[in-house]
Copies of this chain bind each other. A is one copy, B any other.
Amino acid sequence: MEEEDRVKFLHTADWHIGKKLAGYDLLEDQKAVLKQIIEIAKNEEVDAIVIAGDIYDRSVPSEESVRLVNQTIAQINLTEKFPLLVISGNHDSKTRLATGAPWFSRSDYFLHTRLEEAFTPIVIKDTAFFLLPYFEPVDARIYFDDPDIRTIQQAMPRVLEKMKDHFLQNQRHVLVSHFFVAGSMKTDSETKLEVGGLDGINGQLLKDFDYVALGHLHGKNALNLPNARYSGSPIKYSLSEKNQEKGVWIVETAEETTFQFISVSPFRDVRELQAEFSQLLDPGFYRQQNREDYLSILLEDRQVIPNMMNQLRQIYPRILQVERINGREGNRRKSWKAQEIKRKSPIDLIHEFYRAINDESVTVHQQKWIEETMHDLMKKGGDLR
């Protein structure tokens, strides 16, 4: 096989366009990182871009999400003219995602959303790509007309066996798929998709492929088989991913397939920030910070801080959470017994709850409103004590 016949492709997955982080819209972040992915593909002069499922975060994505995906895919395939190999993931609606698919293959954009499409390989240079979309056991049951297929673990050997019947002589074989491989490491931002209580697919089943381009798990190191990788999501989609390097794999087929990870930089990072409250509010400190990041604040203080969240948000607009790493002064509430709570009046309980959450007491105005509301609620009887 001549060197110029070898295929070089970019492997990405789990874009989850439309996903929010603690309520914050990530479309700008997603747009910025997709732009970098296109730049990487151009710099590396790849022969194709592979997207291994979960383009969208929801089966019914927002209009803004549809617009971003449509623009990005058109740029990749029509403007930059990269061949594009795409499968649907468990987050995508296969029906909605498939809109336009029969027209796409004319410009070497192959979008597979149904199991039956997985067995016709797409050949680029020396490599045959099998695009296996996410599927449910029932899809395999119908496809193989076998009522005994009840789990993905039962279905997958049948699927892969049939794929091997379509292997081509003197070609490399790449599988593009979206599922959980046994032994992989998960984070908080993937949706559980194991079926039947079993723990994913045995990696041994994948051994006949030169490379398996996986989607579903969000860390690039979730799996370490010699011939298979998760690309991971190109963005940190949960705090548990704060230390993950995000990016794409550049894969080259050869006698031995090689793969190299190329990082992308977040538009706004997801990270922890540890400090005292006074420090966080000190311009000398916060001017050194990228205040636009998505922050988990690890607060060193123990005392009650009035109006804490509002003050912090003035400076740090995207706070994911605030954690008191040294505990809180006078914080004995956790040890309350049911008997103690029963002895308290509803109004006292409201006061203590408010203090616990907001780190300050109710105002005179709030106090008046609470008393009036409780009075109205209980005027047919009851005891405010």
B78 touches A95 (CB 8 A): no
B103 touches A78 (CB 8 A): yes
B96 touches A74 (CB 8 A): no
User: Which of B66, B93, B96, B106 meets A103, CB within 8 Å?
Assistant: B106
- List A85-137 residues whose CB lies under 8 Å from chain B: 93, 95-96, 98-104, 106-107, 109
Which residues of B lie under 8 Å from residue A70 when comparing CB positions?
95, 98-100
Main secondary structure of the interface of A (DSSP, over half): helix
- Convert A177-205 into 0s and 1s, putting 1 for each residue whose CB lies closer than 8 angstroms to a CB of B: 00000000000000000000000000000
Interchain CA distance A95-B71 in the complex, whole Å: 11
Tell me the minimal C-beta distance from A67 to chain B in angstroms.
Answer: 5
User: Which of B59, B63, B104 meets A100, CB within 8 Å?
Assistant: B104
Most chain B Cβ neighbours within 10 Å, of A59, A98, A102: A102
Judge whether A325 is part of the interface by a CB distance below 8 angstroms. no
Residues of A whose CB lies within 8 Å of any CB of B are 59-60, 63, 66-67, 70, 74, 78, 93, 95-96, 98-104, 106-107, 109, 380
A–B Cβ pairs within 8 angstroms, 22 of them: A60-B60, A63-B93, A63-B95, A66-B95, A66-B99, A67-B95, A70-B95, A70-B98, A70-B99, A70-B100, A74-B102, A78-B103, A99-B99, A99-B100, A100-B101, A100-B104, A103-B103, A103-B106, A103-B107, A103-B109, A106-B106, A380-B380
